[in-house]
Amino acid sequence: MMRTVSVKIALAAALALAPAALSAQSWSDQPVDPEKSQDAAAIAYDEGGRYYTEDDVPTYNLAEDGTVDWMTFSGFRRYHSECHVCHGPDGEGSTYAPKIKNSAVNMDYYDFYDVVVNGRQNGNSVMPHFGDNPNVMCYLDDIYVYLKARGMDAVPRGRPGKKEAKSDEIREMEDACMG
């Protein structure tokens, strides 16, 4: 529960700063150098089947045999339901929407969160707001860690082969969120 509170406070802080942070759009397609971003994705601790960095930001977990954590697998599923009709398969982008797998690495977690919740517009390029869509909001961390894993080249394109089991904590939060 502590974690939820601290995330919410940090989110509020990020929202307050949002206008300046949102004006830049061009870096969405900037390539990612996984080497340089390793630290930002490194696992500091885990809790109930979820993994976090030392900054308390959700991240992915990849075992040596290719097994992904449940959140990354779940993110793959939800991404290919809610997001891929614009951002293309595997976060690879389309003729009009950016390679969002790179955005998940280049953007701060809270900025990423804010754009999904509130949307944004740059001319005729429009990201919708998903703040009132439980199919996205209840799985936003899942989608984020999946895309981060994609952007970092930690998981290949396509459906992850092996996955960790869904933890009771994740199941409880999902049921509570989806209602």
45 DSSP β-pair partners: 52
Q: Please, what is the Cα angle at 51 between 112 and 168, to 5 degrees?
A: 110
Question: Burial of 36 by CB count in 10 Å (0-12 exposed, 13-18 middle, 19+ buried)?
Answer: exposed
Other Cβ atoms closer than 10 A to 57: 22
Among 69, 90, 111, 114, binds another protein (CB under 8 A): 90
Number of neighbours of residue 171 by Cβ within 10 angstroms: 13
- 77: contact with another protein by CB under 8 A: yes
Residue 126 is a binding residue for another protein (CB under 8 A): yes
Nearer to another protein, 23 or 124 (CB): 124
Residue in 25, 53, 94, 167 binding another protein, rule: CB under 8 A:
94
Selection from 22, 140, 156, 25 nearest residue 92 by Cα: 156
128 binds another protein (CB under 8 A): yes
Does residue number 34 form part of the binding site for another protein (CB under 8 A)? no
Q: Decide whether 57 or 90 has the Cβ nearer to another protein.
A: 90
* Closest approach of another protein to the CB of residue 84, in Å: 7
The contact set with another protein (CB under 8 A) reads 76-82, 84-86, 88-90, 92-97, 99, 119, 121, 124-128, 130, 132-136, 156-159, 178-179
